[in-house]
């Protein structure tokens, strides 16, 4: 079993808290020391009380799914003898109402574009198998209750 720690920090400053006119900007500090500016999504809380340039929780969830899938994909491709030069995913997360009528992430579509080199190149079946197995192994995909599709580009 592994444990992961993150510190989330926010401070009000001079903003009028009870009037709902306070900044939603905050910081994520990860166990390795990296700090990331975070905020409520501007789709949920309008500026100036959200920060468009910061990462919001919804984006972070989509990025986590994409990153997890990519890391398994790279490992599996390497073990299969395929050389990946570049991997870029233009992932999309969709918010909507779930079956209980609550606002939730209702789907994520990963849209990876992979650039290969070397003499051994994957065929369509190999590529489908790599993506399927990556999805099956991804810890984050195994943790969510909405569909995660892979639409390779």
CATH classification at residue 77: 3.30.300.20
pTM: 0.92
Q: Are residues 37 and 92 in the same domain?
A: no
Structure confidence by residue, pLDDT tens digits, 111-138:
999 999 999 999 999 999 999 999 999 9
Looking up tokens 């009000």 gives 12
The total domain count for the chain is: 2
**Distance of CA 68 to CAs 59, 89, 96, 100, 139, Å?**
14, 11, 23, 28, 7
As given in the structure block, the two tokens for residue 152 are 């390779």
Whether 101 and 142 share a structural domain: yes
**In which domain, by residue range, is 34 found?**
1-55
pLDDT tens per residue, range 51-100? 999 999 999 999 999 999 999 999 999 999 999 999 999 999 999 999 99
């Amino acid at each position: 079993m592994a444990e992961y720690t993150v510190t989330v920090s926010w401070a009000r400053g001079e903003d009028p808290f009870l009037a709902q006119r306070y900044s939603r900007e905050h910081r994520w500090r990860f166990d390795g020391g990296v700090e990331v500016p975070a905020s409520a999504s501007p789709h949920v809380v309008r500026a100036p009380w959200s920060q468009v340039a910061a990462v919001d929780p919804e984006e972070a969830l989509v990025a986590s799914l994409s990153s997890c899938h990519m890391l398994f994909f790279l490992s599996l491709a390497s073990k299969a003898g395929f050389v990946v030069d570049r991997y870029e995913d233009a992932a999309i997360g969709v918010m909507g109402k779930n079956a209980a009528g609550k606002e939730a992430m209702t789907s994520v579509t990963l849209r990876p574009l992979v650039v290969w080199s070397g003499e051994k190149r994957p065929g369509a079946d190999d590529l489908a198998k790599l993506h399927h197995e990556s999805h099956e192994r991804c810890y984050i995909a195994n943790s969510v209750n909405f569909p995660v599709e892979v639409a390779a580009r």
